[in-house]
Structure 1
Amino acid sequence: MLKPRSTATRELVSLDGLWRFALDGGPGPLDTTLEAAVPASYNDLFTDSAIRDHVGWVWYQRQVRVPRGWAGERVVLRVDAATHQGRVYVGDILVAEHVGGYTPFEADVTEHVRAGQEFRLTIGVNNELTDTTIPPGTITVTADGRRRQTYLHDFYNYAGLARSVWLCSRPAVHVEDITVVTAMDGTVEYAVRTSAPAQVRVRVLDATGTQVATADGTNGALRIEDVRLWRPGAAYLYDLVAEVLDGERVVDSYPEPFGVRTVEVRGTRFLINGEPFYFTGFGRHEDTPVRGKGHDNAYLVHDFQLMDWIGANSFRTSHYPYAEEVMEFADRHGIVVIDETAAVGLNLAVASGLTGAPPRPTFSPDTFGEATREAHAQAIRELVARDKNHPSVVMWCIANEPASNEEGAREYFEPLVELTRKLDPTRPVSYAAVLFATHDNDRIADLFDVLCINRYYGWYVATGDLATAETYLEHDLRGWADRFGKPIMMSEYGADTMPGLHSVWDTPWTEEYQQAYLEMNHRVFDRIEAFVGEHVWNFADFQTSHGIHRVDGNKKGVFTRDRRPKAAAHALRARWRSLGSRKPQG
């Protein structure tokens, strides 16, 4: 699905701002005095705990005027995300419905609106998670009749319209989709889908706007002479301009930015443009005070500045697709991205360990079965369709910490891996392995290209004993390397840390312990030849659900939630800025 853009043939109106808001309602006029910001999660905006803890539908509403110059154009409503289910109404008419909280959806509303006139726009958003949603969860009813949502992921279930809403115009015959695949010699293969059969011309413009290649037809290949590659830390972008023609007249024009680069796994090396690449960076969250998961451009700029300051060259979109503005910023600034679906929590052993409940099989008709896998497949389809042309995206991560050691895991994941490769054969595919999954019992690692390992030796295991933790970690990682012969990276490692807490001993929660913990991990990484990267968990502290093992959220951030550096940030900066993008020699 193409991102809305203002072009010579298209216009768009941002519908961001303050909307009427209510817990109860529908497409009719809302009886409320509350207003909610868009984009933002609604949970932390209000002081009423009934709103913060609400389970079910909430309602956003506003009046929208269609620009008077849009007569004869197609009029489209686009919702960048509605967490986790959305329904869109024009007046009383349902025009769109979508399940999945982090990918966009849209509706052509041309027949329901008029140029120059207003209409009532209502968006219902449902935050419920079940066994057949991605991510999954469970809804129970308390003794006093309150509905309660539980879930299996360790971040707060923020909900609402966390990303922008748009009103867009398009010509009757228009470009619907573009796919771009590049090679280092400047060859660009392209495919353009239009809303109806049409004459199509494709032009490639360089960063100065100079035309450097052209071709005709909806599918084909062209060649950029003296091509400039997109490289980590040195981004260069071209525009592929797809034009729908009526004779010589341009009916529609859409520019799709792209970079020329290749990604390959060869043996135990991860290659970008044929050169070994070593990941340094973080798992992150879209999480800020008050806004929750609401996209904020000020935080976007500042967070990327902090990553540049610390020497990070990459991040993982843990644990869901991030806003498209984040991906575009990474494209422009040469930051490498591992792009992840919202499939976090497919592991009932974790819930059993936390609650003491009897263990249940993760993959079964009564737990996560065919319906869950189809929802998961749809999440993969929508992620790849949205992000396939971003040069910053070098790998798809289709799940975080699934029960890959349990029976049924292979039957569940093998079709999903095949689907991902069919949708995009140009990028490696991975998943992030949970601590319970070892090189001895994991059932799916051979299906994937890169082994992303989440490990917390020295925190959840061998707590406060870094000498023992170092032994455990090296034995664990060498086992994966010896058995599978694939590139390995640490996709999560970290220790909760309270800023300002200090000790001369290895005391968990202190700033000194976080630094020593990371240094222990780094010693092990540097001794393993197959290692291709390290992503610290987490970039910044973030909000979680209630739990006695959390104090106002997860404190594993190298930065606080308001982006102040802990002591470990300075130690990481020294390592990463000297390390660059190459693997140290072990």
Structure 2
Amino acid sequence: MVDRLFRMKTKSIFVRLPLLFIFFDAVRCDYFPTLYPRESETREIKELNGLWNFRADMSVNRSQGFEEKWFMSRLEKTGPVIPMPVPSSYNDVTQDKSLRDFTGWVWYDKEFFCHYHGKDRGSYTGTVYWMITTNSEEAKVQVEVVDADSNTVVMGEGIKGQASVSNVKLWWPYSMVKTGAAYMYVLKVTVKDSTSASTDIYRQPFGFRTVNKTNTQLLINNKPFYCHGVAKHEDYDLRGKGLDMVSVAKDFNILKWLGVNCFRTSHYPYAEEIMDQADQQGIVVIDESPAIGLLQQVYNLTKALDPTRLVTFASSNSNPLSDHVMNIVDVVMVNIYFGWYQDTGYLQTIPYQVPPTLEGLYKHYNKPVMVSEYGAETLTGLHTSPSFTFSEEYQKDLLIQYHQEYDKLRHEYLAGEMIWNFADFLIDQKTNWAYGCNKGLFTRHRQPKMAAFTVRERYQKMINETQKYQN
């Protein structure tokens, strides 16, 4: 998109790049249209691929952007924007039909640093802590906290310390507030040598929030948080387990379309780019790490690094009398498959199994309980009436049965529900799996099954109820 070569007479600046125009505020540029950009000892190429802010001009004459001069400020200041991967075709990334068929002007915006050689919910105070390791005892460290408008709100010095930010804007999940979700600050760390020359600069985005629990609820910023979510895999058709920002953007658009406010990174830590997007879009993450035989050690390390961090694990054992590790963790999380692996085909048994199973865990441990997996295998396009195992109707009916039981418990001790799985994914060849695991709400190439619409209706309703209560 930006395949031009500029030589800039400046040190470090912010640059805004709409789709059609490039503006440099008070920057002199010498433009060489015949030279292809190539790196050398004196020239640096900056890769701008990734997620940009995006807005389509939906006005009748498609000229609102020019008339209101969207290019003169950050795009987010002109109205609602969404993340959009570059390069990609915007028509195929979102769940918005009007954007899929859109023809007209669209606007992209991204802030980056060019370095060339030569609404308020109340008054809160946030505290940021830092501990920095340098390779020189003579190094001097300067720390700045920068808000979303690029204003420095507090400064500090030293390799270790803390600073308080008054009137802080809190990070909220998007499902809990109508406006002001996912507010992010940046911690800017500048390391200088003995001559006070900058030797390194690093920026770490972060948000101010508290996470806590009672014996029945999860709390974010001291407000009840109920996880209506999914378990995921880093898997996509053709690419498999890997990272590309088009797939990331598509998945987050689907998550928002569904109304998902929480997902579990089954069964491994995800790429930092995905975690960053969750932070920026206001989605809570249960970050999973392999810990078989090491749960106590992982728990201890986590608490040593962050005593406020809640720790849990996904257990396939719902019998507290035979489980030996649920007593360690902060939140009880369990996989249940009634109507699928147990009593296959008999959905009428679910009301007699789900409540006593979850209640037994709660009474034994006196902790919030979450369902980390439940669902049914579904072959796309297989339809039966009445519903039968592996049909789309069966998956839908099974989820509805579970939801009816969850609704009885989520105002008591149930703190969350996560469907297995967000999308189909490929596994090794087995006689009891038809080309991978097909318990997804979406196919491997992200097309919805019937159950996706059932879940969307439920989750979006829960968002509306939560925002009405919280606001």
TM-score normalised by length of structure 2: 0.70
Decide which of 365, 384, 388 is 1:484's aligned counterpart.
365
Change (3 A) 1:504 1:492: same
- For residues 254-293 of structure 1, the aligned pairs below 5 Å read 254-293=202-241
Question: Counterpart in 2 of 1:530?
Answer: 413
Shift of residue 225, structure 1, vs aligned partner: 2.2
What letter corresponds to residue 441 of structure 1 in structure 2? S
Tell me if 1:205 matches 2:146.
yes
Tell me if 1:318 matches 2:266.
yes
Decide which of 555, 559, 570 is 2:438's aligned counterpart.
555
Decide which of 286, 299, 302 is 1:338's aligned counterpart.
286
- For 2:336 and 2:348, locate their aligned partners in 1 and report how far apart those are by CA, in whole Å: 15
Shift of residue 417, structure 1, vs aligned partner: 2.0
Change (3 A) 1:318 1:184: farther
Change (3 A) 1:530 1:413: same
Decide which of 187, 191, 214 is 2:155's aligned counterpart.
214
What letter corresponds to residue 445 of structure 1 in structure 2? M
Tell me if 1:196 matches 2:136.
yes
Question: Counterpart in 1 of 2:447?
Answer: 564
- For 2:396 and 2:430, locate their aligned partners in 1 and report how far apart those are by CA, in whole Å: 25
**Is the partner of 1:522 in helix, strand or coil?**
helix
Change (3 A) 1:584 1:572: farther
**Is the partner of 2:322 in helix, strand or coil?**
coil
Change (3 A) 1:266 1:184: farther
Shift of residue 242, structure 1, vs aligned partner: 0.6
Shift of residue 506, structure 1, vs aligned partner: 3.5
**Is the partner of 2:327 in helix, strand or coil?**
helix
What letter corresponds to residue 325 of structure 2 in structure 1? I
Shift of residue 310, structure 1, vs aligned partner: 0.8
- For 2:198 and 2:296, locate their aligned partners in 1 and report how far apart those are by CA, in whole Å: 45
Change (3 A) 1:583 1:216: closer
Tell me if 1:245 matches 2:195.
no
What letter corresponds to residue 68 of structure 1 in structure 2? E
Question: Counterpart in 1 of 2:28?
Answer: none
Contact 1:496 1:556 in 2 (8 A): yes
- For 2:417 and 2:149, locate their aligned partners in 1 and report how far apart those are by CA, in whole Å: 36
Show CA shifts across 1:184-213 (max 9, x none): 522212222212221111011111111110
What letter corresponds to residue 203 of structure 1 in structure 2? E
Question: Counterpart in 2 of 1:519?
Answer: 400
Shift of residue 414, structure 1, vs aligned partner: 2.6
Shift of residue 578, structure 1, vs aligned partner: 0.6
- For 2:468 and 2:235, locate their aligned partners in 1 and report how far apart those are by CA, in whole Å: 33
Decide which of 246, 254, 262 is 1:306's aligned counterpart.
254
Contact 1:457 1:470 in 2 (8 A): no
Show CA shifts across 1:487-534 (max 9, x none): 111111110111221122241111111111111111221222110111
Contact 1:278 1:583 in 2 (8 A): no
Change (3 A) 1:67 1:254: farther
Show CA shifts across 1:163-183 (max 9, x none): xxxxxx9x9xxxxxxxxxxx9
Contact 1:462 1:469 in 2 (8 A): no
- For 1:415 and 1:190, locate their aligned partners in 2 and report how far apart those are by CA, in whole Å: 24
Contact 1:543 1:553 in 2 (8 A): yes
Contact 1:184 1:261 in 2 (8 A): no
- For 1:487 and 1:583, locate their aligned partners in 2 and report how far apart those are by CA, in whole Å: 22
- For 2:442 and 2:124, locate their aligned partners in 1 and report how far apart those are by CA, in whole Å: 37
**Is the partner of 2:241 in helix, strand or coil?**
coil
Contact 1:276 1:582 in 2 (8 A): no
Shift of residue 248, structure 1, vs aligned partner: 4.1
- For 2:304 and 2:163, locate their aligned partners in 1 and report how far apart those are by CA, in whole Å: 23
Decide which of 68, 71, 76 is 2:41's aligned counterpart.
68
**Is the partner of 2:313 in helix, strand or coil?**
strand
- For 2:184 and 2:135, locate their aligned partners in 1 and report how far apart those are by CA, in whole Å: 27
Show CA shifts across 1:416-445 (max 9, x none): 3222212321210011001x4412211111
What letter corresponds to residue 523 of structure 1 in structure 2? Q
- For 1:184 and 1:219, locate their aligned partners in 2 and report how far apart those are by CA, in whole Å: 23
Q: How many residues matched?
A: 347
- For residues 73-472 of structure 1, the aligned pairs below 5 Å read 185-197=125-137, 198-233=139-174, 234-246=181-193, 247-341=195-289, 343=290, 399=291, 412-434=294-316, 436-472=317-353
- For 1:208 and 1:331, locate their aligned partners in 2 and report how far apart those are by CA, in whole Å: 17
Shift of residue 226, structure 1, vs aligned partner: 1.7
What letter corresponds to residue 271 of structure 2 in structure 1? A
- For 2:375 and 2:346, locate their aligned partners in 1 and report how far apart those are by CA, in whole Å: 14
Question: Counterpart in 2 of 1:539?
Answer: 422
**Is the partner of 1:512 in helix, strand or coil?**
helix
Contact 1:184 1:260 in 2 (8 A): no
- For 1:195 and 1:248, locate their aligned partners in 2 and report how far apart those are by CA, in whole Å: 15
- For 1:456 and 1:498, locate their aligned partners in 2 and report how far apart those are by CA, in whole Å: 18
- For 1:196 and 1:451, locate their aligned partners in 2 and report how far apart those are by CA, in whole Å: 45
TM-score normalised by length of structure 1: 0.56
Question: Counterpart in 1 of 2:5?
Answer: none
Structure with the higher strand share, 1 or 2: 1
Shift of residue 296, structure 1, vs aligned partner: 1.3
Contact 1:532 1:583 in 2 (8 A): no
- For 2:205 and 2:186, locate their aligned partners in 1 and report how far apart those are by CA, in whole Å: 4
Question: Counterpart in 1 of 2:456?
Answer: 573
Contact 1:465 1:506 in 2 (8 A): no
- For 2:39 and 2:330, locate their aligned partners in 1 and report how far apart those are by CA, in whole Å: 48
**Is the partner of 1:504 in helix, strand or coil?**
coil
- For 2:132 and 2:297, locate their aligned partners in 1 and report how far apart those are by CA, in whole Å: 27
Show CA shifts across 1:209-242 (max 9, x none): 1111001111111121221111101111111111
Contact 2:229 2:418 in 1 (8 A): yes
Show CA shifts across 1:453-489 (max 9, x none): 1111100001110111331222211100111110111
Give the percent of matched residue pairs that are identical in Structure 1 and Structure 2.
40
Q: Which runs of 5+ in 1 are unaligned?
A: 1-7, 10-64, 71-168, 172-182, 344-398, 403-408
Contact 1:492 1:535 in 2 (8 A): yes
